[in-house]
Amino acid sequence: PPEKPTIIKCRSPEKETFTCWWKPGSDGGHPTNYTLLYSKEGEQQIYECPDYRTAGPNSCYFDKKHTSFWTIYNITVRATNEMGSNVSDPRYVDVTYIVQPDPPVNVTLELKKPINRKTYLVLTWSPPPLADIRSGWLTLEYELRLKPEEGEEWETVFVGQQTQYKMFSLNPGKKYIIQIHCKADHYGLWSEWSPEYYIEIPTDFRVRDM
């Protein structure tokens, strides 16, 4: 029979839906079919995956209608072919704690040169589009990191829930790389980092200005 599959990850990008992925075991060259089965805390019934397609191969997508919070899903995947079948170890999931948002978007960098005051860099960004911040259902906190283009060490700054940050301590003539990521505040996983954004600090930007 086929080797038992492994459930490798479950993730909710916006605390409204979630997806689980599995890795097949070896199938001995026999065409093998995979079935994801789950039960929910407080219920005896066993359900099958509602949607094997939306999230691509070896995955199961749970839309809003099939997603409940503060309840444990007991999830297994069964591999079946002509030689027999085998079931994965169970994965216990509370969707509340698998929230991993998409990275922030619309990142802008702008150098500000106010008269008689220090010059500074203003970063602004927006929450990932899927995240419903307005209703209060999801609250995100952000962290940014930067380093000189040729540098090795990232400097990381936790900025809480704000979507703007001012930076004063940049060196004239240097080019910097900046990225931002986010997570549901105090639970879940950090998103991937945003793409890298570059900013070059002009050389006429005298140290005294800083």
Partner 1 sequence: LPICPNGSVNCQLSLGELFERAVKLSHYIHLLSTEIFNEFDERYAQGRDFIARAVNGCHTASLTTPEDKEQAQQTHHEDLLNLILGVLRSWNDPLIHLASEVQRIKEAPDTILWKAVEIEEKNKRLLEGIQKIIGRFHSGEIGNEVYSQWEGLPSLQLADEDSRLFAFYTLLHCFRRDSNKIDSYLRLLKCRLIHNNNC
For partner 1, give the closer residue by CB, 168 or 187. 187
Alpha-carbon gap, residue 54 to 60, rounded angstroms:
8
Residue 60: is it exposed, middle or buried by C-beta count within 10 angstroms (0-12/13-18/19+)?
A: buried
Instruction: Single out the residue of 133, 157, 159, 177 in contact with partner 1 (rule: CB under 8 A).
Output: 133
Tell me the C-alpha to C-alpha distance, in Å, between residue 48 and each of 17, 57, 61.
16, 16, 11
89, 22 contact by CB (below 8 A): no
107, 194 contact by CB (below 8 A): yes
Q: How many chain residues are in contact with partner 1, going by CB under 8 A?
A: 26
Instruction: Single out the residue of 3, 48, 82, 132 in contact with partner 1 (rule: CB under 8 A).
Output: 132
Say whether residue 6 binds partner 1 (CB under 8 A).
Answer: no
Tell me the C-alpha to C-alpha distance, in Å, between residue 105 and each of 5, 126, 131, 158, 195.
35, 5, 11, 17, 9
Say whether residue 94 binds partner 1 (CB under 8 A).
Answer: yes
Token reading at 204: 């006429």
* Rounded least distance, CB 191 to partner 1, Å: 19
* Rounded least distance, CB 52 to partner 1, Å: 22
Say whether residue 142 binds partner 1 (CB under 8 A).
Answer: no
* Rounded least distance, CB 162 to partner 1, Å: 13
Say whether residue 11 binds partner 1 (CB under 8 A).
Answer: no
For partner 1, give the closer residue by CB, 187 or 198. 187
Which residues make up the interface to partner 1 (CB under 8 A)? 15-16, 41-42, 64, 67-72, 74, 90, 92, 94, 96, 132-137, 139, 185-187
